[in-house]
Amino acid sequence: MLKLGLLDFGFFDAPRLHSYEVLDNLFEVAPKADELGFSRYWLAEHYEHGVGWRNPDHLVGLLCGSTEQIKVGPAGVLLLLHSPLAVVQRYKQLAYLFDGRIDLGLARGVSEQHVAKALWQQDEVDFSRDRYAQMMQELFHFFRGTFPEDHPSKSITVPPHTHVEPEVWTLGTGRGSIPFALEYNTAFSLSLFHKTANANGGGRPEYLHELQDRYREQFGVEARCNICIGGLCAPSYEEAQRRLKLHVQAHASIEQNVVGTPESCREQLLELQDKYRVDEIIFCDLNVRLEHRLEGLQMLAETMQMVVV
């Protein structure tokens, strides 16, 4: 059975839909997704115009409190813009309060320098891969209490003082992030919806197959992985195209991987499942209006014969 999760950027398209309405709609869409049996509700961190939030951390606990079973988390935390300790403090608490329902996606994406400078209160922020690797290492040391004895952060502990972690997902568009997933034994989500990455050869099935093979060899079990796509489900193909054109500016950077009627979307999703060898696909819904989003979720749930587990 193919599981479907959701990724929400909080797209708005004023004056048709304002940013504050996106927040209101969030608390209608997420409970509906929970009711219909969607597996996850991921919230993007983004610093461009046209989205209803920048950092979704404060929304994660609120959505968990408004739903019953669906897993919730950021996808992902742009770690280069955050203190690893602060991330661990927030998500260890949430993982304890909502046992088994908190995801933590980690991404190498960045903002423009002037945003990063404002967040870090520094003249220049290092966006290098080496710095990201160092921050990943610190984050997992804080989660697992594994700093070396002579490390200055060894004495820092993060309550609650019990072994609890969110389910950590390394997010990537290609091979570049696979070593992090293998080093820290995390789940991995491969994005197919980043237009710029795809233009440079990202999102290929062989990248995920490589991870799956190496993970099986290294850990002796199957990798926890999925793919993330951009899509839109509508009653007819013509209506789907109309909705895409209606809000073209709201999601101009998102690839349209799966678009069409419920039956067509089902065929496309199952084809991707077979191609990438996954049992879960995260669907970034390109519907923008609330009524269209709720209708699209209902049609997807029905055509995929989803059930609440």
Give pLDDT tens digits for 15-39: 777 888 999 999 999 999 999 999 9
Average pLDDT over residues 272-295: 96
Q: What is the 3-state secondary structure (H, E, C) of 58-108?
A: HHHHHHHHCCCCCEEEECCEEHHHCCHHHHHHHHHHHHHHCCCCEEEEEEC
Write down the pLDDT at residue 111. 58
Tell me which residue range forms the domain holding 20.
3-303
Question: Residue 12 — pLDDT band, cuts 50, 70, 90?
Answer: confident
Considering only CA atoms, give the Rg of the chain: 19
Residue 53 is which amino acid?
A: W
Residue 308 lies in a domain: no
The pair phi, psi for residue 193, each rounded to 5°, is: -100, -5
Question: Hey, what are 281's tokens?
Answer: 């696909």
In a domain, 222, yes or no: yes
Residue 259's closest CA among 280, 279, 287? 287
Chain length of the chain: 309
- Give tens-digit pLDDT for 61-107: 999 999 999 999 999 899 999 999 999 999 999 999 999 999 999 99
Is the pLDDT at 247 greater than 80? The verdict is no
For the stretch 47-57, pLDDT in tens is 887 888 989 99
Q: Which residue has the higher pLDDT, 184 or 52?
A: 184
Instruction: Say what the pLDDT of residue 250 is.
Output: 66
Nearest in space to 219 (alpha carbons), one of 185, 250, 173, 194: 185
Residue with tokens 């520094």: 122
Whether the predicted pLDDT of 199 surpasses 70: no
| Degrees, nearest 5: CA angle 197-270-289 | 65
Residues 189/169, Cβ–Cβ less than 8 Å: yes
* pLDDT (mean) for 113-130: 75
**Residue with the larger pLDDT of the pair 152 and 248:** 152
Residue 146 has pLDDT above 60, yes or no: yes
243-247 long-range CB contacts below 8 Å, 24 or more apart?
Answer: 243/286, 243/287, 243/288, 243/292, 244/286, 246/13, 246/16, 246/288, 247/11, 247/13, 247/16, 247/286, 247/288
Does residue 230 belong to any structural domain of this protein? yes
Q: What is the mean pLDDT of residues 168-181?
A: 95
Q: Structurally, how many domains does the chain consist of?
A: 1
pLDDT at 284 over 70: yes
CATH of the domain at 192: 3.20.20.30
Residue 309 pLDDT exceeds 50: no
> Mean pLDDT, the chain, as a whole number?
91
Does residue 309 belong to any structural domain of this protein?
Answer: no
The answer to whether 103 touches 57, Cβ cutoff 8 Å, is no
